[in-house]
Structure 1
């Protein structure tokens, strides 16, 4: 007879209230759930659904005194967590229940070494000596496949990549082998291949230690790959709960169906843009980039001499036609954002950038300013892009004011028309950025980018921080605006599913160089470069029936683009493998 796994965590009728200017309101209402030993439970939903508040309530880390548990119980085994004082709760955290937060850089202390932070938690919960704690820290880093674990102990958080910092967070959480691990959006900020490795790592460690996992995410692809059971939350309430296969195959709640329909899928996404033939009859290009190089010198030593050079972009060439979307894809550090900044005139470069038939390198200050009207950017974080002290109407009108376009009344009329076009009302022009949701703020940024009626808009990870349904609406808006205004897009992303749904052509970057470029169908239907294939294979598939058995890991970290002075980077030559499909070969 098969024994039933024991229940390790039980939440009954949990309510979390937050006190605001208008009084108290519930952000989690009557939530009940159970978690069995060795099980992975995913709590999915959009921002504001109460996912993270639930996790903080379990950890007894709610921000005091603004938030509190107003009703319900939380049992970890036989222990009632809501009845414990802070002193007793500190013994539970890390030892029996641990948490991985979304942004490792803000979770790690920037002034303490990795080793100090790891050993500190081990020594706090065990009777190990400092030497023994250090050895366990090394073993924890090796368990999460960090190379040269012993030397990493001396490094500080800023010296590690995003993926490595997240692995350090996992090592800290699992060093004491807790009964329950809460992972709050642990892969949202990671590249798709690093995300695959982190998820595979969590699976391995769970099987080894029998840890129960609560995975909090809004990525339904991650849910499909990881979860045994799923809870869907909205506005603080559970709207649906069940086995992962049942939730995806037979969703009962309308909100669940909407959430799944909004997920971008490679090859069959609902919002997939129809393939368009290249406009050969239109010789004029919005932008042409030829042999672009961007390098940054690093100084060191007693005299501050230049000792190393970062080859951020090396010999990149491409063109963008009117009404076309060229997607620039690759992992963090590949040079795609640096390429965008060079095109927008924000970093020094060598090579040729031609916008609207004018080469930027041969223009004076006034001419360069005029050309920049034709190139506008939409950044990843809309809140960081908007001045919190200015009304959003003034922010959208600011480009018109800088370039001396139209009178004050005409500017206001144009801004009102832009607000209407991006799905906002003219009444909202008087509000401040903090009074909008994330998706609404991104619409404000899109309106500002359109204010000067540019020929090219650079969208740098413009939807990566948005919930899946908001992301779908913003992508639809970008497509509508392209059809209406004929604007071209340079769409920068590491999300291959989003890229496959919106792009006409795709250029894949690796270590500052393009390794493959072609039409959307060429790159996704017949990827020829190993790195392109790896990016596509790493995309989580929102279908539990297609859950991969294993993820192919890299044996080591991606090499650095930094070289010693005089040391030249490897040059890659692009060869045409047919119909303009270019693939890199070592040259």
Structure 2
């Protein structure tokens, strides 16, 4: 395929070395590749395989002085100017190329966006740096870029700061910044990991449009093999810094040659794999009272504006949500960013103010005092999306797992140590690792530490908020299997929050679909996935990328309008939805 098109980027024998306490070691070894104009090259592999280091080397953004390019060449081709050897450019010369000819979308938007500058300032700054547009024209282009990635109320968003946006919206801002200058080469490092499947589909369609209109070349780094199947012309599989397999996407998926490639493909969750599966449930536990009941839950946040800071608008984050969770059951809560999933979870865990009724273990949280609430919270624990951010880097992981026991005054010091050691063994770690710090673990291992900490108090309900979305597919599969095993062993119930419909379909017993703070459909896994009745549910399922290039869609479905906002003027209430039963507890929303 590369021979049929003009080569835009040529990497030969690239080696990247990192200096550590034990000396220098190679994290990318002898990598060679060619990227053609208008081509999408996907680089796949687990964390630590060298994918991101390769992209940072191309951008000349390797962390100095710890990392350096120890060998190889990176040539950017230009018809009029000839080849440009990037490894020989100084920082001033590279600034002219970054963003203009080669742009990059980073995985973690919060660390890539400046927290003290508004979204508008950061967007227009990059546009003005590489074009001769006036400030007003740069602002118009920034608004167009935000609209292109489906950010509602784009003009008003320019005044907001990164912390005021959800994770998915921050990622869309990063994508808008990269697309605004229409670069020749776009490097996308896990660009859709934090995005919902519907937004992911539209972002991928944006990348396709850019290729069709300008012949932009894309290097897509991802662990989502469904995205690889949808987007890739060619695929490179990396492991431990080396290329283990390269080929056309159709060949890689149909006839993988390397054992590691076959392992990656086998770990990919697929829609339909869980339908019809019957889990063995503890009948005595199933007949007992619900672990948690949520009735008519409302969570609203006031927005201040104007010269005197008056409350003039209100975010209706959660509006009249009701559901129950039985012992040993997994209820999945799904929907797009901003739909109220995480806010519902935080209310259930007592982390945000709310109105309505939350009953845990037969006790209503709204009628309890401080000490009683603390006791009830032992029954509800959370596993967060980012394990590194939720673990104190200054504490040993053994102390982190024991911390809930210390807070609640449970057991003696020696008994706590024995319980923590048993938990480490149970989640697939060793007792010796209790003395290590979070940075000494991989992402999957850190998430296992978080699971052990959540189990320390032997809760009745664990809230898993996007707990596997940032993990590689093989690690993700192992963590999901662990969660299932722990549920069978301890009888714990899960509120599983995710935007990955394939994962939800494989782990859930029941599914509740949220949209703009309200549940629009709820039922068993089979009811929701085999017979979705609400248009929004259908769109979520249809948007899931299929890990098979033979079933690649020519175009992703696009909305005719932007996602509505959950923000209302004071006194303006959102439209109320009534759930109707279509049989056997399959509830679907209709307007009141």
- Calculate the TM-score normalised by the size of structure 1: 0.93
Contact 2:152 2:565 in 1 (8 A): no
Deviation for aligned residue 1:366 = 2.5
Distance 1:22 1:560, change over 3 A: same
Q: 1:379 to 1:150 in 2, by over 3 A?
A: closer
Is the deviation greater in 63-72 or in 275-284? 275-284
Where structure 2 has 5 or more consecutive residues not aligned to the other structure, the ranges are 75-80
Offset, 1:525: 0.4
Q: CA distance change for structure 1 residues 498 and 144 in 2, over 3 Å: closer, same or farther?
A: closer
1:269: how far off?
6.3
Q: Structure 2 vs 1, CA of residues 284 and 274 (structure 1 numbering), >3 Å: closer, same or farther?
A: closer
**Cα distance in 1, alignment partners of residues 506 and 435 from structure 2:** 35
Partner of 2:335: 330
Task: Measure how far apart 1:182 and its partner are.
Answer: 1.1
Q: Note the alpha carbon deviations across 1:75-98, whole angstroms, 9 max, x for none.
A: x96222212222322222233222
User: After the TM superposition, which of the residue ranges 425-434 and 93-102 deviates more from structure 2?
Assistant: 93-102
**Shift in Å, 1:20:** 1.1
**Stretch of structure 1 that moved more, 216-225 or 272-281:** 272-281
Deviation at 1:158, TM superposition (A): 5.3
- In the alignment, structure 1 segments of 5+ residues that lack a partner are none
Shift of 1:6: 1.2
Deviation at 1:511, TM superposition (A): 1.2
Tell me whether 551-560 or 149-158 shows the greater mean CA deviation: 149-158
Per-residue CA shift, 1:486-522, capped at 9, x if unaligned?
Answer: 1111111111111000000001111111110000000
- Structure 2: how far apart are the matches of 1:448 and 1:50? 30
- Give, in whole Å, the separation in 1 of the partners of 2:533 and 2:580: 11
CA distance in 2, matches of 1:349, 1:161: 20
Instruction: Tell me the secondary structure at the aligned position of residue 527 of structure 2.
Output: helix
Aligned CA distance change for structure 1 residues 39 and 269 (closer, same or farther; 3 Å): farther
1:332-354 CA-to-partner distances (Å, cap 9, x unmatched) read 11111111122122222222222
**Secondary structure of 1:452's match?**
coil
Q: Could you tell me how far apart the structure 2 residues matched to 1:254 and 1:66 are?
A: 33
Is this contact kept in 1: 2:146–2:173, CA < 8 A? yes
| Distance (whole Å) between structure 2 residues aligned to residue 248 and residue 82 of structure 1 | 34
Deviates more, 1:512-521 or 1:550-559: 550-559
* Residues 192 and 495 in structure 1, CA contact (< 8 A), matched pair in contact too: yes
Q: CA deviation at 1:277?
A: 11
Answer yes or no: is the 8 Å Cα contact 1:273–1:503 preserved in 2: no
CA distance in 1, matches of 2:316, 2:147: 30
Contact 1:19 1:67 in 2 (8 A): yes
Is contact 1:99-1:173 (8 Å) kept? Answer: yes
Following superposition, the deviation at residue 400 of structure 1 comes to 1.6
Q: CA deviation at 1:270?
A: 12
Q: Residue 518 of structure 1 aligns to a residue in which SS?
A: strand
Query: 2:282 is matched with which residue?
Result: 277
Give the C-alpha shift of residue 22 in structure 1.
1.3
Q: Aligned partners of 1:250, 1:169: CA distance in 2, in Å?
A: 35
TM-score, normalised to structure 2, is 0.92
Specify which of 252, 257, 262 is matched with residue 247 of structure 1.
252
Q: Return closer, same or farther for 1:143/1:377 CA change in 2, 3 Å cut-off.
A: closer
Deviations 1:259-289 (CA, angstroms, capped at 9, x unpaired): 1111111112699774879989714111111
Given that 2:234 and 2:247 are in contact with CA atoms closer than 8 Å, whether structure 1 keeps it comes out as yes
Measure how far apart 1:121 and its partner are.
Answer: 3.6
Compute the displacement of 1:390 (Å): 1.6
Distance 1:129 1:306, change over 3 A: closer
Q: Structure 2 vs 1, CA of residues 142 and 77 (structure 1 numbering), >3 Å: closer, same or farther? A: farther
For residue 198 of structure 1, report the CA deviation from its aligned partner. Answer: 0.4
Per the alignment, do residues 568 and 122 of structure 1 end up closer, same or farther by CA in structure 2, a change over 3 Å counting?
closer
Give the direction of change, closer, same or farther, for the CA distance of 1:544–1:279 in structure 2 (3 Å limit): farther
Give the whole-Å Cα distance in 1 for the aligned partners of 2:570 and 2:134: 45
CA gap of 1:277–1:559, structure 2 versus 1, over 3 A, is: farther
Going from structure 1 to structure 2, the CA distance change for 1:210 and 1:327 (only over 3 Å counts) comes to: same
Confirm or deny: 8 A CA contact 1:101 1:185 kept in the other structure. yes
Is the contact made by 1:289 and 1:353 (CA closer than 8 Å) also made in structure 2?
A: yes
Aligned residue among 218, 225, 235 for 1:213: 218
Q: Cα offset for 1:229?
A: 0.1
Change (3 A) 1:372 1:551: same
Deviation string 1:111-145 (CA, Å, 9 cap, x unpaired) is 44555444444444445565665665566556656
Q: CA deviation at 1:204?
A: 0.7
**Contact map agreement 2:150 2:562 (CA 8 A) in 1:** no
After TM superposition, the structure 1 stretch with the greater mean CA deviation from structure 2, 423-432 or 107-116, is 107-116
Q: In the alignment, is the contact (CA less than 8 A) between 2:18 and 2:68 conserved in 1? A: yes
Partners of 2:274 and 2:244 in 1: CA distance: 24
Out of 113-122 and 351-360, give the one that drifted further.
113-122
What is the CA-CA distance between 1:160 and the residue it aligns to? 5.7
Residue matched to 1:404: 409
Please say if residues 40 and 234 of structure 2, whose CA atoms lie closer than 8 Å, have aligned partners that are also in contact.
yes
Indicate if the aligned counterparts of 1:377 and 1:458 stay in contact, CA closer than 8 A: yes
Is the deviation greater in 354-363 or in 228-237?
354-363
Report how many residues are paired. 586
Q: By how many angstroms is 1:453 displaced?
A: 1.2
| Counterpart contact for 2:319–2:517, Cα < 8 Å | yes
CA displacement at 1:191 relative to structure 2: 1.5
Question: CA deviation digits over 1:456-475, x for unaligned, max 9?
Answer: 11111111111111111110
Q: Is the 1:506–1:520 contact (alpha carbons within 8 Å) kept by the matching residues of 2?
A: yes
- Rounded Cα–Cα distance in structure 2 between residues aligned with 1:288 and 1:271: 26
Q: CA deviation at 1:146?
A: 6.1
What is the match of residue 456 of structure 1?
A: 461
Q: 1:199 to 1:293 in 2, by over 3 A?
A: same
Aligned mates of 1:327, 1:100 — CA distance in 2: 30
Question: 1:305 Cα deviation (Å)?
Answer: 3.2
- Tell me, yes or no, if structure 1 residue 360 matches structure 2 residue 365: yes
**Structure 1 residues 122 and 453: CA distance shift in structure 2, 3 A:** closer
- Partners of 2:458 and 2:285 lie apart in 1 by 24
Q: Is the Cα contact below 8 Å between 2:510 and 2:523 reproduced in 1?
A: yes
RMSD: 2.7
Distance in 1, Cα, partners of 2:158 & 2:359: 47
Question: Structure 2 vs 1, CA of residues 295 and 232 (structure 1 numbering), >3 Å: closer, same or farther?
Answer: same
Deviations 1:375-424 (A, max 9, x none): 11111111121122221111111222222222221111111111111111
Distance 1:122 1:268, change over 3 A: same
Aligned partner of 1:40 in structure 2 is 40
Aligned-residue offset at 1:298: 2.5
Q: Deviations over 1:309-341 (max 9, x none)?
A: 222211111111111111111111111111112
The CA distance in 1 between the partners of 2:138 and 2:294, in whole Å, is 53
